[in-house]
Every structure is written in C-alpha cells, then in structure tokens.
Structure 1
Amino acid sequence: MTAFLISLFPGVTSDGILVLLVATFLGGLVRGFTGFGFAMVFMPLASVVLGPVAALGLIWVIDMPFALPLGFRAAKRAEWGEVIPLLIAATLTLPIGIALLTWLDRETMRWILALLVLAAVGLMGSGWRYHGKPGLPLSLGVGAASGLCNGLASIGGMPLAVFWLSAQRNDRHKTRANLQAYIGLSTVISGTILALKGIITLASALMALPLFAVYGVGLWLGTHAFVLASEQTFRRIAYLTIFLSALVSLPLWDGLIGR
C-alpha cells in the first residue's frame, strides 16, 4: 500500500484501509443492484475503523456524485405521491438523528447501527408483506424513521427498503426507482445539514478520493447484474450482503479478533 494512500487516511492502519476498500466495493455492488443499501453495508464496517461520526461524513462524500445523477434518471419512473411525504417527514427528523449521533458514545452507536440493520434484514427476509396503497400516516411515519436513521448513520434507505420491498404490489423496478429518486433528493438536504454541523470535512473529502473508483466499479457491476437477476435472486442477494456486513461489525467480536 503506497505512502500516498496511507497519507489520505491519517490514524488508520493498513488493515483498516483494506476494510474501507472492501466495504466500499460491496456497498457499491448492492447499491447498483438494488437502488439502496450502500450505507447499510458500508456504515457498520466503516464505523469500526473510523467511528460513526467520521464514517457518516465519508459516506456522504463517496455517494453524492453517484446519487444525484441516479436520482435524476429515476425521477420519471418514481411514484412521487409516495416519495414526497416520506421526504418531508425525513427532513424534519434528520437533525434529531444527528444530535443522537454526536451525543452517544462510539461503542453504543456501533451496537445500535448493527442491530438496526440486522432487524431490518430479518423483517425484509421474513416474507412479511402488506397489501394495498400505503396511506399518508404510514408514509409520514416511515419518512420520520428514515430521517432519524439517516442522521444517526446515513442508513435512511433502510426503513424505505422495508417499506417498499415488503409491499406486495411493488416490483423490483418500481422499488429501485422510488429509492433512487428519494436518495437523490435527500442527499442534497442531508449534505447541507451535515456540512453545517461540521460532519462533512476536508478530511472526509480526502479519504473519499481513492474510494470513488472502487465504488464506481461496484456500482457499475451491480447495475448490470440487476438486468440479469430474477425477483427472488434480487431480494436474496441484497439481504445476505447487508446481513453479513452488520454481523461482522458487531462489537461482540472485538475481543475474539483483537479489534
């Protein structure tokens, strides 16, 4: 590993940089394949290396150049009657999530993050479905949860994934378009708030430089694999990758592997 690469990650070991590279690639693969899930893969692993606050700033910088054009292209296929109420509620609760992130200690945040992701994957993979068109109260509630999770760990797509992937009437194409359109808009809103809070920094931008290409490759591969996958395969791969990422990041294993 070159000295230049190491200089972009002050205080991070070579093993830690490798973890960030792998997490970025896997997160990009899932994001391109499903339309969501980068943060659900990246954040549990990156928080082990950098801590939740620094990882939150880094993930925004990595994803932003990709989220905006993907969201723009998905806009014409998205169902905006569902997306807008979610976005409004999420914007209101985002600052609460950020406040909790900066208040809670690092290990507590790692437990919360990993357990939230594991619970979401368990619910999505359980086969539970709801029928019919979601009403406004449900949409606002899911949006509020999304904003809270976005502020805590940039995993605002997680409640939305449960919301849309669990909808019996939704197919993978609509789910993917809704998620990409939502994430594109929420990226602009969350970036403004995170910058004002001092969470997005020059250090975040420098660390992101070598990760852009890795993320782009994963995103490209995932996008092309989406065309080839069946509905069942689509769900299974997304759930498994997210589950393993959260499982590996649990503080439970720190003593066993010397982390």
Structure 2
Amino acid sequence: MWDGLAAALALPGFAGLLACGAAAGLVYGFAGFGAALIFIPVAAALTDPGVALASFAVMASGSVVTILPRVWPVADRAATGFMILAATLTMPLGVALLTRLPEAPLRWAICGIVAATLAAVMAGWRITLSDRALPRLGLGATAGLMGGATGLLGPVVILVTLAGGAAAARMRANMALFLTTVTLLILPTLWWQGVLTLPVFWIGLILLPVYAGATLVGQALFRPGAERVYRGLAYAVVAGAVVLGLPV
C-alpha cells in the first residue's frame, strides 16, 4: 500500500499535476464543467493518457461533496438522468479503445470533432435538444464513448448545451450533475480494465483535497446573471482543450 504512495510522490512532474488540479477545480466550481478539459491534456503530457484519466476520476470524486448538493435542485434531473445512463453503458467501450488503439489518431479525431463543433456554436449554430429519452440517450452515449477513450466527457455535452441557449444557472447545473456522476461511475471500469492501479489511485487521492478546495473557491465566484462571461469562459476552455490536446 505504502509503496503505491511512494511511487505516486516520486512521479516526475507531480508538482505540475498539483497545479493543474487546482486550476481544474477552480474552473469546475465556477462553470460546472471544464475540469477534465484542463487536467487531462496537461496530465497526459506529464504522464500518459491512462494515468491522466484514472487519477482525474479519483480526484474529481470530491465534486460529489463540493458541488453536487448545490446544483441538484437547479438541474433538469430527468433529462440528465437519461444521459448518465447511456454514458455509463458506453464508457467501458471507450476505455477499451483507450487501452488498445494508437493514441495519436484518436487524439486527432477527437480534437477535430470538438473544434468543428465549437466553430459552429460560436458562429451562431443553435439546436433545441428534446427532453425525450432518445435524443438524451444518444448524446449521453456519445459522451460516454468519447470520455472513456480520451477522458474528455464534457465537450460534446458542453457544446450541445450551449447551443440550446438555456440560462447560465441551468446549463451549469445540468453539466455539473452529468459530469460529476459519470466521472464517479467510470471508476469501476477503470479498475476492471487495469487502468486504475494503486499508484494511480494514490495520485488522485493526493490531488483530491487540492481540487476540492479550489472547487469551493470557484463555486463562490459564480454569478447566475453573468451570461456573457459564462459563455466566454466556456468557449475559451473548450478551445484551450483542443490546442492542448493536439498530439504535437
């Protein structure tokens, strides 16, 4: 057990992971999304994609306490529940792809899809996603597959939610409910497929209080009426994730 802790502390770039975890928590507390978009690309550059995804999932479990109780009353729980169900079913396939496919082509494909969708939304693209089960299941399934393969559960959900034009408080609540729950549910799959090892678990556990504290600070900064600021931050975080995620 303690050997795993020693291996975690001896990891090259561990200080960078701590700083990245704090930044991810700050943004997630404010926006209700963006933690993986900040943490995963940087952590993958410091370690590898599997370690980045698994340590993030452990670290982000702190959001169950710090942010979920605040967003639960505001979120559309029924519609979000369909997405969570579908994502949970497709995440194992995504994790299997992560462990079997070459990394570079997968990263190029994901970055291309996210960049094209971001450009469409910023250009004025709007979509009204029905609250019926089928569209929500499709969106959740896509997010789960992408999230399992890359650690980035958020981009497709973020962009479709932004394109819907809902109020900032409702958007934030829906995305936070989805991302927090699904990130927690991916942990058994990561363990089962050998991605979540004891040293990686220790990395996430050490990062957890740093992330949770930063999340509380970000949550205190959120203002429901700051619609333009909220959307601007959303676009900037997704664009930054595309650049950081490029396999160059």
Fold agreement, TM-score > 0.5: yes
Report the equivalent of 2:183. 187
- Is 82-91 or 65-74 further displaced after alignment? 65-74
1:220 partnered with 2:216: yes
Match of 1:102 among 87, 99, 104: 99
2: CA distance, partners of 1:112 / 1:22: 28
Q: 1:209 to 1:82 in 2, by over 3 A?
A: closer
Report the equivalent of 1:136. 133
Match of 1:122 among 116, 119, 136: 119
Cα RMSD for the two superposed structures? 2.6
Query: In the alignment, is the contact (CA less than 8 A) between 1:28 and 1:216 conserved in 2?
Result: yes
1: CA distance, partners of 2:70 / 2:220: 16
How many residues are matched? 244
Q: 1:119 to 1:71 in 2, by over 3 A?
A: farther
Structure 1: any 5+ residue segments left out of the alignment? 253-259
2: CA distance, partners of 1:133 / 1:165: 14
Structure 2: any 5+ residue segments left out of the alignment? none
- Pairwise CA distance, 1:157: 2.2
Counterpart code for 2:226: S
TM-score (norm 1): 0.82
Query: In the alignment, is the contact (CA less than 8 A) between 2:57 and 2:204 conserved in 1?
Result: no
Deviation string, structure 1 residues 58-86 (Cα, Å, up to 9, x no partner): 10011012235522442222212311221
- Pairwise CA distance, 1:7: 5.4
1:247 partnered with 2:237: no
Match of 1:236 among 226, 232, 235: 232
Counterpart code for 1:33: F
1: CA distance, partners of 2:208 / 2:87: 27
1:153 partnered with 2:153: no
Counterpart code for 1:178: N
Q: Describe how 1:1-259 pairs up with structure 2 within 5 A.
A: 8-12=8-12, 16-67=13-64, 69-131=66-128, 133-168=130-165, 170-227=166-223, 230-252=226-248
Query: In the alignment, is the contact (CA less than 8 A) between 2:111 and 2:245 conserved in 1?
Result: yes
2: CA distance, partners of 1:122 / 1:217: 33
Query: In the alignment, is the contact (CA less than 8 A) between 1:62 and 1:211 conserved in 2?
Result: yes
2: CA distance, partners of 1:205 / 1:147: 21
Secondary structure in structure 2 of the residue aligned to 1:8: helix
- Pairwise CA distance, 1:124: 3.8
2: CA distance, partners of 1:114 / 1:36: 17
2: CA distance, partners of 1:119 / 1:203: 37
Deviation string, structure 1 residues 5-55 (Cα, Å, up to 9, x no partner): 99534452xxx3343233222221221111111111111111111111111
Deviation string, structure 1 residues 173-212 (Cα, Å, up to 9, x no partner): 1111112222333234212222222222211222234423
1: CA distance, partners of 2:218 / 2:120: 23
Counterpart code for 1:137: L
1: CA distance, partners of 2:46 / 2:111: 14
Q: 1:69 to 1:22 in 2, by over 3 A?
A: closer
Counterpart code for 1:126: A
Query: In the alignment, is the contact (CA less than 8 A) between 2:60 and 2:180 conserved in 1?
Result: no
Identity among equivalent positions (%) equals: 29
2: CA distance, partners of 1:245 / 1:122: 14
Secondary structure in structure 2 of the residue aligned to 1:239: helix
- Pairwise CA distance, 1:91: 1.8
